[in-house]
């Protein structure tokens, strides 16, 4: 079988050596997009060696040199934006409107942001904090970063790992999900074409238990940065702890969406539908649990149901399609099983709750689903569904809203909908999440950090805060008196 070559190591595409043949498919049609022999431990070894070899030159390049290469990379990506959007759409089952309007331009903007930020790494000012010394801070790259990304936003999640790491002078080996490797390899290839040296960015396409494990436990990988489920993140963190490696974890989410009784109900209903269905709900910040204050509850549920009726499922390359397929039959069946369990436990399925009839039902599509009457402690409210499912629950007091919003293990994102500045302020302070939106849900921006609280992980992607993950802070202390007898020597020498 001819393979496509989905490993990108030391600036070259090639196939893996594990012997395991794999078909990369379009989950919206079942079409095979690429075939590959997946990466095994030897491929990971080779990729880490390439990253290690590239580290010396890249880490010593000036920020301006790194920045210029990254800007050339952004220009190349601009020129190929349409191709990236098409491939991402087909590989992940996303509507072309989403990849053209969000995934690809967002990624290119991130490249430009980090090209600029590379020249602006900050530390505390140099000064005499001790009377006899000048102190300065050096922010230094850590070394070879091992990164692992999920399948929901393949290009963006890979970019969020790669960009701050290399802007700060590290080199990287990224393992995308084997389901969605295509744009990660194209992204690394475009970097190489733009003049980023071979070995700075390497991609190994393989499974978690084989290539992922080999990367996490590799002795020459100085830090592991992981985006994925909380269950796998926990495993990765415990292995990294045993090896005393730095870890950065972006994990699952179960974002609450709180609608107070002074909110604009139309704005909130539209926000809830868009926030729940973006990427077919396979978004770690998706609106999953709407808590609506009782006076607005009926009107909100009714309007959300009407809006769901207008959402068009269809082929992903049709610009009229609003929602595409889920990533796989496995994911679709997991979503279906969670909705069925909620129904059996007494919840009401107001809309959807099934695989669509007709041809879409032959692929991994699932209907946009609205659930009410679920118990707060039920699985559909507490656990990540990662599908197009919105649960709506009523609440009475503001205290109830905050308590219910915080009542899951996760803390990635949350939103509050209100026209009252005091309610907005209280929600901002008390909702336990790495991002709180007021009167919106979902938008992100390169300059601002993304990352979780609680079981959603720790550390930040995007923004200058990401540099805190990917740099070591070195204190340099220089004695400035030149005295042979330093004042602090009194603690050792009794007489001078
Ligand atoms: P996953 O945890 O199953 O897999 C994520 C990655 O880890 C994949 O590349 C996978 O191959 C790899 N992996 C699996 N087992 C591994 C192991 N034992 N060792 C090393 N690597 C291993 O997650 P997924 O299903 O691909 O993605 C969905 C999850 O990602 C959801 O929980 C979602 O919330 C989360 N996510 C979080 C963020 C965030 O920013 N917090 C962003 C996107 C997705």
Same domain? For 271 and 210 the reply is no
Which range marks the domain in which residue 468 is found? Answer: 7-251+456-476
User: Would residue 487 count as lying in a domain?
Assistant: no
Taking CA atoms only, the protein residue closest to ligand 1 atom 39 is 250
Same domain? For 215 and 338 the reply is no
User: Would residue 274 count as lying in a domain?
Assistant: yes
Domain count along the chain? 2
Ligand 1 pocket, 467 CB below 6 A?
no
Ligand 1 pocket, 154 CB below 6 A?
no
* CATH classification of the domain holding 304: 3.40.309.10
Same domain? For 201 and 276 the reply is no
* pLDDT at residue 426 in the model: 98
Same domain? For 117 and 263 the reply is no
For residue 124, report the distance from its CA to the centre of ligand 1, in Å: 35
Residue 395 has a CB neighbour count (10 Å cut-off) of 22
Same domain? For 238 and 353 the reply is no
Mutation choice for ligand 1 from 150, 248, 442, CB with most ligand atoms inside 8 A: 150
Same domain? For 244 and 311 the reply is no
User: Would residue 2 count as lying in a domain?
Assistant: no
Identify whether the C-beta of residue 18 lies closer than 8 Å to the C-beta of residue 38. Answer: yes
User: Would residue 490 count as lying in a domain?
Assistant: no
Short-list 489, 474, 464, CA closest to 168: 464
Same domain? For 226 and 337 the reply is no
For residue 92, report the distance from its CA to the centre of ligand 1, in Å: 15
* pLDDT at residue 11 in the model: 98
- Of all atoms in ligand 1, which is nearest to the CA of residue 151? 26
For residue 348, report the distance from its CA to the centre of ligand 1, in Å: 30
Ligand 1 pocket, 386 CB below 6 A?
yes
- pLDDT confidence bin for 496, thresholds 50/70/90: low
Identify whether the C-beta of residue 277 lies closer than 8 Å to the C-beta of residue 311. Answer: yes
Same domain? For 262 and 323 the reply is yes
Q: State pLDDT tens for residues 143-176.
A: 999 999 999 999 999 999 999 999 999 999 999 9
Q: What is the pTM of this model?
A: 0.97
For residue 148, report the distance from its CA to the centre of ligand 1, in Å: 8
Same domain? For 169 and 194 the reply is yes
* pLDDT at residue 3 in the model: 75
Q: State pLDDT tens for residues 94-114.
A: 999 999 999 999 999 999 999
Same domain? For 277 and 380 the reply is yes
Same domain? For 178 and 47 the reply is yes
For residue 10, report the distance from its CA to the centre of ligand 1, in Å: 25
User: Exactly one of 88, 100, 192, 284 is catalytic; which is it?
Assistant: 284
* CATH classification of the domain holding 63: 3.40.605.10
Same domain? For 390 and 418 the reply is yes
User: Exactly one of 250, 367, 384, 469 is catalytic; which is it?
Assistant: 250
User: Would residue 355 count as lying in a domain?
Assistant: yes
Q: State pLDDT tens for residues 233-276.
A: 999 999 999 999 999 999 999 999 999 999 999 999 999 999 99
């Amino acid at each position: 079988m001819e393979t496509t070559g989905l490993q990108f190591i030391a600036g070259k595409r090639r196939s893996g050596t594990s012997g395991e043949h794999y078909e990369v498919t379009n989950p919206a049609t079942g079409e095979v997009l690429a075939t590959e022999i997946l990466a095994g431990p030897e491929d990971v070894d080779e990729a880490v060696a390439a990253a290690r070899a590239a580290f010396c030159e890249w880490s010593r390049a000036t920020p301006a040199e790194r920045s210029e290469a990254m800007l050339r990379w952004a220009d190349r990506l601009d020129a190929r934006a349409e191709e990236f959007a098409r491939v991402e759409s087909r590989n992940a089952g996303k509507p072309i409107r989403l990849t053209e309007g969000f995934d690809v331009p967002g990624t290119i903007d991130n490249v430009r942001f980090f090209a600029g930020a590379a020249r602006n790494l900050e530390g505390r000012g140099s000064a005499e904090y001790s009377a006899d010394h000048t102190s300065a801070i050096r922010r230094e790259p850590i070394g070879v970063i091992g990164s692992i990304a999920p399948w929901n936003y393949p290009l963006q999640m890979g970019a969020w790992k790669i960009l701050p790491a290399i802007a700060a002078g590290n080199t990287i080996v990224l393992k995308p999900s084997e389901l969605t490797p295509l744009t990660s390899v194209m992204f690394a290839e475009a970097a190489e074409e733009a003049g980023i040296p071979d070995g700075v960015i390497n991609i190994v396409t393989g499974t978690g238990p084989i290539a992922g494990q080999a990367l996490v436990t590799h002795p020459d990988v100085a830090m592991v940065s992981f985006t994925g489920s909380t269950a796998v993140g926990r495993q990765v963190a415990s292995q990294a702890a045993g090896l005393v490696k730095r870890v950065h974890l972006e994990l699952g989410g179960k974002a609450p969406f709180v609608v107070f009784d002074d909110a604009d109900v139309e704005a909130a209903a539209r926000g809830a539908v868009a926030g729940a269905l973006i990427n077919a709900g396979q978004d770690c910040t998706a609106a999953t649990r709407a808590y609506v204050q009782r006076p607005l509850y009926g009107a909100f549920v009714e309007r959300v149901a009407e809006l769901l009726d207008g959402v068009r499922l269809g082929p992903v390359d049709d610009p009229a399609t609003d929602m595409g397929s889920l990533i796989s039959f496995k994911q679709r069946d997991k979503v279906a099983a969670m909705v069925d369990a909620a129904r059996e436990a007494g919840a009401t399925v107001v809309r959807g709750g099934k695989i669509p009839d007709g041809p879409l039902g032959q692929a991994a599509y699932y209907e946009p689903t609205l659930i009410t009457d679920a118990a707060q402690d039920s699985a559909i409210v507490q656990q990540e569904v990662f599908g197009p499912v919105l649960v709506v629950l009523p609440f009475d007091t503001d205290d109830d809203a905050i308590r219910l919003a915080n009542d899951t293990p996760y803390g990635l994102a949350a939103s509050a909908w209100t026209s009252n500045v005091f309610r907005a302020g209280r929600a901002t302070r008390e909702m336990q999440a790495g991002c709180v939106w007021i009167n919106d849900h979902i938008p992100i921006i390169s300059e601002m950090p993304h990352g979780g609280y609680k079981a959603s992980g720790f550390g930040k992607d995007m923004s200058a805060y990401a540099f805190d993950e990917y740099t070591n802070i070195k204190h340099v202390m220089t004695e400035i008196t030149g005295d042979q007898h330093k004042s602090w020597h009194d603690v050792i020498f009794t007489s001078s």
